[in-house]
Chains A and B, each alone.
Chain A
Amino acid sequence: MIGKSVFRALNGKQEVVKRCSKIVIRASSTVPQMSLPSSSENSNPLPFFRSIQNSPSLHASNNSGQFYTIDPSIKKQLFLYGGIPKTFDELCNTFKETCMMIREPALEIMDYMKSTNFNNAATRYCLYGKIGTGKSMTMAHVLHYGFENSFVIVHVPWAPYWYKFPKEYSDCPTKEGMVDLPLDAVAWLIHFKNQNSHLLADPNLSVCQDWEWSKREITKKGAPLAEIVEMGINRVKYSTNCIEALLQELKQLSDLKRCKTIVVIDGFNIFFSDKTKIKTAAFEKIPPKRVTITSPFVDITKQDWSNGAVIVSVDDLAFFRKDQRNTHYPRGLLGPEGFEHLDPFIPIETKNYSEKEFHYCIEYFLERRWIINPHAASEEGRKELAFISNRNPFNLLKVTAPL
């Protein structure tokens, strides 16, 4: 039984790989047209757990539970510097493809974004859920959607990295009592440049005001936005200032309808915690609000700009182990300050797999030969796996690893 389906899938997969690559090459920054298969073929030449639709803009509830493939070039552009969880990335290397499940939370956010009135203030969506239920994956999916629809992407793959494993920190020369993370700021600018390379060439994205970095270095009004990015990358000293300028410019440009921005921040609750590993020159440990890189990203999640969307996630793992709050709800994780900042927002919950999603996931693992043990494929085996992992996506992955 298993052999048959694998054989069929392999055959189908070969065909589809060709077809998929054709679709992607044709599409550039416009939404690709849905290529309907001819009436003589089956409605879906792929196995039932795979979606022929590889464009997030065209994902709908009938695709729920199915896996869609992300093209390697898109993956490289979007996720080179982070965005796909490490464990999942290793899995993708093992499977030689990046396949993500289309799930309800992502479909929901994309639905809201499709029907948003972009004249109104940018809505904040807050993803919350238990560990391993797919918050980062949902954000990756929405990021892909934003990329396809020509949003300027402001993406922080995992904000706590800055505060837990800072590359280098130094006292800020201009602001009293604040600490800079120059190398992390540069790394982020490189990430921004990589993700938005296709849009930075747009002549619409020009600076709205003069930015003075020092007596001799000024970015004049009307210069392309890419200049600020380059400035930050080349001059490490001004990297955080460049980020601030960049994000302020993006807010203004979005307001002026010259571009639309999507802000995606994972682990947002770290901005409102009270501890970091960063110290001042006097060895005093400081909270995130005294780190210069915090304020631009907190600022862009306010609702004082329009023509964009803000998707953040709150995770208990963002905190240091000792400070973890043992809750997955947004108010508990954001704290009163964070909640007040984000209010009003749309809380979106990520849950464990439903029965259908679980079934599709097992089928996918079987097809990819992640699960080889024949008992695991049987009815009883599946029930056992469902019970042991509680249908939690991450747990399922760990539990099936030795099988």
Chain B
Amino acid sequence: MMCNSRYRLLRIVAKYSTDASNTEFRVLDLRKGSGESAMQGRGRFQKRTEGGPQLLPPRETRMPIDQDWPSVWPGPRTFHPASVPLPVRQGYPAKDLAAPPGKYANAELMKIPNFLHLTPAAVQRHCQAIKRFCTPWPSKLTNEDACDKYFPVQTTTCDYLHSSPSIRDPLARIVTLQVKLSSLPLEGRTRDKFLRLVQERYNPETDMVTIVVDRCPTRKQNLDYSHFLLTVLYHESMKEESWEREKSPLDNELFEWQTSASRAAIDSLAVKQKLDPDYIQHYSEALTNLMNKGEDQETLADYKERALRLLGHSRN
């Protein structure tokens, strides 16, 4: 009832506004389907016509291809579909065979971070801006090997940013020190000792020793400690203790022919029967291979062949 009377008043205003005599002041009429056309044959409940307020076409349709993109998207921003001239689709469709949802009103696209502000052109501009503060790249460091040679020790630290009352993060104190074992002058006994001290921190595939230090509260202290550790490891490896000489053949990681019981057996056999020293040599190689590489068809077949030759057996 109330709306009826209000409606009547507005109708009068509208009618008044469309009078030809009042062209100086156009009254804004935002009602959908207002005006004479809408009132034709309609009852109490007005049906809304399709369309709504007339909007301008999205900006992306009017973007030139050669525009300056870093100016359009200068900084990190939530995805805005009308400003991005790409037909991006994201997400799973409701029906199996439909295309993924488009970019308009796509919450998933808006949630994820985008790097539209870091296109190559933009990055190049950043670099150009920073370049005047940089020194030139050292001329001798032309490849990875040169870098490893002159800078064998790599230190890795991580910085954390917080938008909270405190900017501190306890994880920022962690320091990782990485060095290639081949850059240290260790061999044989010293290398073995170093590896025993370092244990699982050594990766044989990449030949890298990785030491992670986090026991001190500040980064600088951890850094100093990691340098100290490296120094101590090296010097301790170089030292030889008296008890190290107590290592027996049973403790050996790899089979050594010279100190093995097999060699003693061959030597005692050679006393009684004639054994060709060449064949003994070949046999020892096959045996060492069998023991160190592990037993399989190949190593066993090799061992068999050489044992046959050594013991003087052959098939007719």
Contacts and interface: CB of A to CB of B under 8 A. Distances in A.
B238 interface: no
A306 B271 CA distance: 13
B55 to A, nearest CB: 72
B283 A344 contact: yes
Nearest to A332: B295
A143 B208 CA distance: 58
B88 interface: no
Contacts of A121: 269, 272-273
Nearest to B305: A346
Contacts of A329: 295-296, 300
Interface string B262-303: 100110110011000000000100010011000110001001
B307 A346 contact: yes
A344 B261 contact: no
Contacts of A115: 313-316
B310 A344 contact: yes
Given A329-B295, A329-B300, A340-B262, A111 B290 contact: no
B141 interface: no
B27 interface: no
A124 B283 CA distance: 16
B212 to A, nearest CB: 37
Interface residues of A, number: 27
Interface string A191-212: 0000000000000000000000
B126 interface: no
Given A329-B300, A344-B262, A344-B310, A119 B295 contact: no
Given A120-B273, A121-B273, A331-B290, A344 B265 contact: yes
Interface string B205-218: 00000000000000
Contacts of B35: none
Interface residues of B, number: 27
B10 interface: no
A347 interface: yes
Q: Name A's interface SS.
A: mixed
B311 A347 contact: no
A191 B316 CA distance: 34
A115 to B, nearest CB: 6
Contacts of A120: 272-273, 311-312
Contacts of B307: 344-347
Contacts of A119: 273
Interface string A107-124: 010011011110111010
A340 B261 contact: yes
A345 B314 CA distance: 14
Contact of A108 (B265, B295, B315): B315
B300 A111 contact: no
A343 B290 CA distance: 12
A61 to B, nearest CB: 9
Contacts of A331: 290-291, 295
Interface in A70-120: 108, 111-112, 114-117, 119-120
A123 B262 contact: no
A316 to B, nearest CB: 14
Contacts of B314: 112, 115
In order of increasing CB-CB distance, the 8 nearest A-B pairs are A329-B295, A340-B261, A120-B273, A112-B313, A343-B262, A331-B295, A111-B315, A344-B307
Interface of B: 260-262, 265-266, 268-269, 272-273, 283, 287, 290-291, 295-296, 300, 303-304, 307-308, 310-316
